[in-house]
Amino acid sequence: MLEAISTFLQRHLAAVTGVSGLMNLAAGALLSYAIDKSWKLIALALAVGAVAIVVPQLVTRANVLGQRRHDAEGLLAKLLETLARSFGAPGQHARANIMLVSSDQRSRKVHAATAYNMTNDPDSDLEIGILAGASGDAVLKKAPTVRDLRIKIDPMGPSDGISDAQRAKVRKSLQSILSAPMIDPQDTNKVLGTIQVDSDLDIAAIRFDQQASWQLVQCYADVATVIVKGALT
């Protein structure tokens, strides 16, 4: 909601500021006319004056929120690029992204604006269930998880929570993924999202089988959590 208000106010900044000025003038004129005539008119004049005072404050807050979000997305983009480079990108294939949990706590979606090396991939805006897929294991276990994507899901076994339509969006050449949970530091039972590194290389080649890699990705997840908590939630 705050993001929507912020976007609206920034797009219509001149109009909103102009309306505020007119309301301020109208409030003064109405108050002058209302004195000794009607308490209802006085109340209306005061209400209009109050709104005229609040609107500029909303504009200022909208600018602050918009700038804060912009700065946070810039930090996250650089963080994810650095994470992918830790695994050899761009010399060898590696992507990095965060998936943020929806407000109803039912799904997670790739934050396309900050994802690294996913521009032309169909899964750059993938949305799946909160516990779905390899990254869903990280939410469930609240710990880093690795999966070999070459191992196909047994159609007769338990579902991984990903629909055929969602699976069709996933980059076909991916072989491995390492994911870590973004745990709310103020409520360790709450997960704000997950951070992922995935690759067209197998687990061993990209070093996803090493405990140091799991610890590294969890550290990046913790930093991303602080940024998201401060500006994107």
Which among 219, 226, 220, 231 has a CA at the least distance from the CA of 81?
Answer: 220
Q: Name the burial class of residue 148, with classes exposed (0-12), middle (13-18) and buried (19+) by CB atoms within 10 angstroms of its CB.
A: middle
Range of the domain at 14: 2-66
Tokens of 13: 């900044």
Is 178 found in the same domain as 112?
A: yes
The pTM assigned to this predicted structure is 0.72
Which among 182, 174, 197 has a CA at the least distance from the CA of 89?
Answer: 197
Partners of 193 in beta bridges: 100, 182
User: Does 72 fall in a domain?
Assistant: no
Is 94 found in the same domain as 50?
A: no
Query: Cα-flanking dihedrals φ and ψ of residue 145, to 5°?
Result: -135, 150
For residue 72, name the pLDDT band (cuts at 50, 70, 90).
Answer: confident
Q: Which residue is listed with tokens 């710990």?
A: 143
Listed residues 66, 99, 114: the one ending a domain: 66
User: Does 28 fall in a domain?
Assistant: yes
Partners of 177 in beta bridges: 147, 198
CATH number for 183 = 3.30.450.40
Determine the pLDDT at residue 171: 96
Is 104 found in the same domain as 27?
A: no
Is 114 found in the same domain as 189?
A: yes
The pLDDT tens digits for 19-48 are: 444 444 444 444 454 444 554 444 444 444
Is 193 found in the same domain as 111?
A: yes
Tally of domains within the chain: 2
